[in-house]
Amino acid sequence: MELIGNSMSTKKLDEIAAIEKAIAEKYGKEAVQNPRSNWDEEKEKEYLFQMKEMYSKMRTNEGLTEKIDINGIKVSKKLLNRESLRSCPVCGSFPRRSMDDVCLIKFDCCNKCYVKYVENREERWLKGWRPNN
Q: Which of 33-47, 53-67, 68-82 has the highest mean pLDDT?
A: 33-47
Q: What is the mean pLDDT of the segment spanning 94-108?
A: 81
Q: For 16-25, 45-54, 100-109, which range has the lowest pLDDT when averaged over its residues? A: 100-109
Report residue 78's pLDDT band, with 50, 70 and 90 as the boundaries. low
The residues spanned by each domain of the chain are 1-31
pTM, entire model: 0.38
Q: Could you give the residue ranges of the DSSP H alpha helices within the chain?
A: 2-27, 41-65, 98-107, 111-113, 122-126
Cβ–Cβ contacts within 10 Å for residue 49, how many?
10
Mean pLDDT score of the chain: 81
